[in-house]
Amino acid sequence: MSWTDERVETLKKMWGDGQSASQIAKELGGVTRNAVIGKVHRLGLSNRATPGSAAKAAPEKKAAKPAAAKPAAAPKPTKIKAAPDDAPAPPMSAARRAIIPAGQPLPPQPSLNEISPEALAKVNEIEKQAKKLTLMELTEKTCKWPVGDPATDDFWFCGLAVQTGKPYCEAHVGVAFQPMSARRDRRR
């Protein structure tokens, strides 16, 4: 199916009249609702969420619904807006607030699970003995713990013998896998 000038004009007219994407797709035939939505976006047509379109839609809804239904719905948003003042929402982390474009590295993030100093010391000692393997040298019997920045030349994997059933050596298993009760206690 191709978008001919005639089909595009029909789409524009029906969209401007307030028809849904499904209705437009059915009228045009041979296109899906999502194809109509995509074409609307590519054409830069209004998403109909403007105050002017809401005013146009309101008279149609009043004719279809009883007048008593609208006043009952109006107080609810006011009550919902007042609730956050009473109970402040927990602060969002900077990483959750920021929108990071695809393909960009994530900023450093604090760990949810604090690692014990003993475990870190053990990891530091083990990494001095590591085989420093590349990705292509890894096997099912080598520790796959990454060390360093993958964008640099000094990036490597631990490479020591893995613990049975785990992808890491004993030291890295101690950092990666922690008992449920220990994690639960730290969150409090």
| CA 122 vs CA 64, 174, 182, 183: distances in Å | 71, 9, 19, 20
Q: What is the pLDDT of residue 89?
A: 52
Mean pLDDT of 40-51: 74
pLDDT digits (tens, 9 = 90+) for 46-89: 766 544 544 454 455 444 555 544 444 444 444 444 444 455 55
Categorize the per-residue pLDDT at 176 as very low, low, confident or very high, splitting at 50, 70 and 90.
confident
* pLDDT attached to residue 173: 85
**What is the value of pTM for the model shown?**
0.37
Residue 146 scores a pLDDT above 60: yes
For the cut 60, the answer to whether the pLDDT of residue 174 exceeds it is yes
Q: What is the mean pLDDT of residues 137-148?
A: 92
Question: What would the mean pLDDT of 37-52 be, rounded to a whole number?
Answer: 75
Q: Please, is 39 exposed, middle or buried when counting C-beta atoms within 10 Å of its C-beta (0-12, 13-18, 19+)?
A: buried
Is residue 23 pLDDT above 80, yes or no?
yes
pLDDT digits 0-9 by tens, 114-141: 566 777 778 888 888 888 999 999 999 9
**Spatial CB neighbours of 135, under 8 Å, sequence gap ≥ 6:** 157
Place of tokens 């990454």: 146
> In this predicted structure, what is the pLDDT of residue 25?
92
Report whether pLDDT(90) > 80: no
**Which among 182, 170, 63 is positioned nearest to 115, based on CA atoms?**
182
Longest distance between any two alpha carbons in the chain, whole Å? 78
Instruction: For the chain, give every domain's residue range.
Output: 5-64, 117-187
How much is the pLDDT for 107? 58
pLDDT at residue 151, as a whole number = 87
